[in-house]
Amino acid sequence: MRYIVALLFIIFFQSVPAGELKIIFRYDDYSRNSNTDVERLLFDTIKNIGGGVLVGVIPFPHAPYPEPDSIPKVADLGEDKVNLLKEYASQGVVEIAVHGYSHKSNATEGSNSEFTGLSKNTQNLLLGNARAALEVTLGFSITSFIPPFNQYDLQTLQSLESTSYKLISAALGGPQESTGNLTYLPGGAYPQKINEVISSALASGHTEAIVVIVMHPYDIIESGDQMSNFREDPQISIHKLINDLSKIKKRNNVHFMTIHELFEGGEEFSVLNSSHKCITQ
Ligand SMILES: [Zn+2]
């Protein structure tokens, strides 16, 4: 069993050699509707700084759920979106995660969630088929999951295990199983705060930590999307983000890493003592 344990926005684990603050990216809500030009620029920037990004892909945005006898075999992405993912995945920059089936919320109360409260059969059907359709469409294996709205329940974890997922990335506070093979990768700092988070981590000597920067299309002005109504941050220009990242790249004790690099070697992630100072946004 592998764990990554997070203290708010910084993840600490003991198996990475000390001395560098590690930074990885997560980008949610990639779909046939998201802005391809912005995404190409973003992926290219991450490639140029030597980093990697876990891309949460919505295979069937806004689609009704399938009947078991009429399951779509191919994701509804479109040729441009498929080619962009293939191009950067083949270079080791992009790692794909399933980001829900349709990304619609099924919650009748509380936080929005696609999966929380759904039956075992429904979660197995949606998780298994979302993944299978993306694998057929893209032509490679996918083992990561990002729950829409960062919300899931214990059944989601069991369904992920039974449909052979290996990693879940969500906000802190969700359930975790004490047994099983899932890796938990919490996110993360938003791109508007990247300079503050990195500076604060370095000033505090947290060079044994990993920062997961979580981005959505609506974070970026040029996406054409409105900022989410539950976020108070202003949107950021893609050019400011590129500029910020190139400056961070030049700092000492900072290392952008790929998702593959994060997991290669199959490290045993372990709990660090909880007296570490938490770094918040
Ligand atoms: Zn989402």
* Residue 38 neighbours by CB distance under 10 Å: 18
Q: State the distance from the centre of ligand 1 to the C-alpha of 229, rounded, in angstroms.
A: 13
Distance of CA 174 from the midpoint of ligand 1 (Å): 16
CA of 231 relative to ligand 1 center, distance in Å: 13
Q: State in Å: Cα 256 to ligand 1 middle.
A: 24
- Tokens 């961070």 locate to 248
| Average pLDDT for the chain | 86
Q: How many Cβ atoms are within 10 Å of 205's Cβ, its own excluded?
A: 12
Query: 113 C-alpha to center of ligand 1: Å?
Result: 10
Mean pLDDT of 184-205: 87
Q: What's the gap in Å between 31 CA and the centre of ligand 1? A: 10
- CA–centroid distance, 40 to ligand 1, in Å, is 19
Q: Using the mean position of ligand 1's atoms as its centre, give its distance from the Cα of residue 97 in Å.
A: 11
* pLDDT digit string, tens, across residues 257-272: 998 888 774 443 322 2
Between CA 74 and CA 40 the distance in angstroms is 23
Cα(81)–Cα(97) distance, integer angstroms: 14
Distance from residue 250's CA to the centre of ligand 1 (Å) = 31
Architecture of the domain whose range is 5-263: Alpha-Beta Barrel (3.20)
Q: What is the pLDDT of residues 53-82, one digit of tens each?
A: 999 999 999 999 988 778 888 999 999 999
Put simply, whether the predicted model's pTM sits higher than 0.85 gets the answer yes
